């Protein structure tokens, strides 16, 4: 690995690691923070659902503006998003008992962070095209490791220092991220301008018409992340009947997140031997097996094994789907493509939040996992059809965009 590649990769690693460290504070510990601020469980649900819905709306809109190739670049939007998150974290540290203000600020920073996530991925492809060689899989894997380690130690820090430590840590990580992003400037390399034949499909219906197999795949991905989020969001309800505790839950989350690193770090080499299509179907099958193992688990041992499937499910899906977008989309649509992949994750979480809580109240965790298993199986069938259609159109996993006509 050349010195230049090390340097670009190191900075991109810090961008990913700090992003997911903050993600841990804002997302993984959202309930902990908001409960301490006087929120009821119902109000927490409303806050997170609203933030997720807003992010689904704004992700394609912001991506469409970036795809126009004006002054609103991936780096500029990343810096603006980081600055907004930093301001929001400072305000949440200062504001003590104003539930209305906390509701507004927390929902906004939660939404901004979701909108920002696909832009980090799009930035990699932009810089790679400009000659800034980066090991994406390694960087993304270390981002997950950052989440795992931060989550592990934050839980213990809250017990010692209280929930204010969440915002203090976020402020530190965001400050580091903002400094790195400021100096993360793409070299002045002339990249051929889009030809007059290239058209940005910023309208949703135009995008669907242009990339039908991709959007069908997005629908399948929504089903994968319905079950993925159901397990993550309601882990304590699932493991309590098996003798699991909050400590067991922390271990399960840590195992899943940490095991993403080796797979993501090796994904570039794996993709040289296995096609995108087969890897995405493999990831879908792993989501199904993970849910099945959780469903049949008689004890915590099988729960941990289910969580270990994360290295074949989420850890494969995330980087490979990013490359899938780059290979499927025309240049003026690639940031939107990354945004729609992220929207599938978000929508899966929204539907899971709306449905699974009610299923738990009515029939309990096993019935919720039964529904999740069926939804995941449906998603795998949809993904198979979508990727079959894509293969028939492109005949390879090379750098071929679907027709723009």
Query: What is the structure's pLDDT at 173?
Result: 96
Tokens of 194: 């889009």
pLDDT reported for residue 5: 52
- pLDDT the model gives residue 3: 44
Two domains, one topology: 1-185 and 200-405: yes
pTM here is 0.79
- Residue 358: C-alpha distances to residues 105, 109, 232, 367, 373 (Å): 27, 27, 16, 11, 17
Whether the Cβ atoms of residue 293 and residue 306 lie closer than 8 Å to each other? yes
Domain ranges of the chain: 1-185, 200-405
| CATH 1.20.1250.20 is held by the domain 1-185 | yes
What tokens were used for 64?
Answer: 């469409």
Burial (Cβ within 10 Å: 0-12, 13-18, ≥19) of residue 247: exposed
CB-count burial class (<10 Å; 0-12, 13-18, 19+) for 391: middle
**Is-contact 349 271, C-beta < 8 A?**
no
For the chain, residues with pLDDT lower than 70 are 1-6, 69-70, 189-200, 246, 394-405
Helical H segments across 37-186, by residue range: 41-67, 74-94, 99-129, 136-161, 164-183
Alpha carbon distance 21, 363 (integer Å): 35
Helix/strand/coil (H, E, C) string of 20-45? Answer: HHHHHHHHHCHHHHHHHCCCCHHHHH
**pLDDT at 6 (0 to 100):** 60
CATH class entry, domain 200-405? mainly alpha
Region of 189 please: left (phi>0), alpha (psi -120 to 50) or beta. beta
Burial of 13 per CB tally in 10 Å (0-12, 13-18, 19+): buried
Distance of CA 213 to the CA centre of its chain: 21
């Amino acid at each position: 690995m050349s010195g230049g590649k090390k340097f670009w990769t190191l900075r991109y690693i810090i961008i990913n690691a700090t992003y997911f460290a903050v993600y841990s504070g804002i997302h993984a510990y959202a309930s902990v923070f908001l409960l301490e601020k006087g929120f009821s469980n119902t109000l927490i649900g409303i806050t997170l659902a609203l933030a997720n819905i807003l992010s689904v709306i704004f992700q394609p809109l912001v991506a469409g503006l970036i795809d126009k190739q004006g002054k609103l670049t991936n780096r500029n939007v990343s810096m603006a998003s980081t600055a907004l998150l930093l301001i929001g974290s400072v305000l949440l540290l200062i504001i003590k008992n104003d539930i209305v203000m906390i509701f507004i600020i927390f929902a906004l920073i939660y939404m901004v962070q979701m909108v920002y996530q696909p832009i980090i991925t799009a930035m990699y492809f932009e810089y790679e095209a400009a000659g800034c060689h980066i090991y994406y899989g390694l960087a993304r894997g270390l981002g997950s490791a950052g989440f795992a380690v931060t989550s592990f130690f934050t839980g213990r820090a809250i017990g010692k220092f209280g929930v204010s430590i969440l915002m203090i840590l976020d402020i530190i990580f965001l400050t580091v991220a903002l400094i790195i992003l400021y100096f993360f400037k793409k070299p002045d390399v002339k990249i051929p301008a889009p030809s007059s034949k290239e058209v940005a499909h910023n309208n949703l219906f135009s995008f669907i018409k242009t990339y039908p197999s991709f959007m069908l795949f997005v629908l399948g991905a929504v089903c994968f992340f319905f079950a993925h989020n159901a397990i993550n969001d309601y882990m304590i309800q699932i493991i309590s009947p098996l003798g699991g505790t909050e400590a067991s839950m922390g271990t399960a989350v840590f195992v899943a997140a940490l095991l993403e690193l080796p797979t993501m770090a090796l994904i570039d080499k794996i993709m040289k031997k296995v096609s995108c299509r087969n890897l995405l179907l493999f990831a879908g099958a792993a989501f199904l097996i993970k849910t099945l193992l959780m469903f049949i688990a008689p004890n915590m041992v099988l729960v941990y094994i289910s969580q270990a499937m994360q290295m074949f499910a989420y850890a494969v899906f995330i980087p490979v789907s990013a490359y899938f977008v780059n290979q499927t989309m025309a240049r003026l649509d690639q940031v939107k493509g990354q945004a729609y992949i992220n929207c599938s994750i978000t929508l899966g979480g929204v539907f899971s939040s709306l449905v699974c809580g009610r299923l738990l109240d009515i029939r309990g965790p096993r019935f919720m996992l039964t529904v999740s298993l069926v939804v995941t199986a449906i998603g795998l069938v949809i993904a198979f059809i979508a990727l079959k259609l894509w293969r028939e159109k492109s005949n390879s996993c090379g750098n071929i965009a679907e027709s723009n006509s």
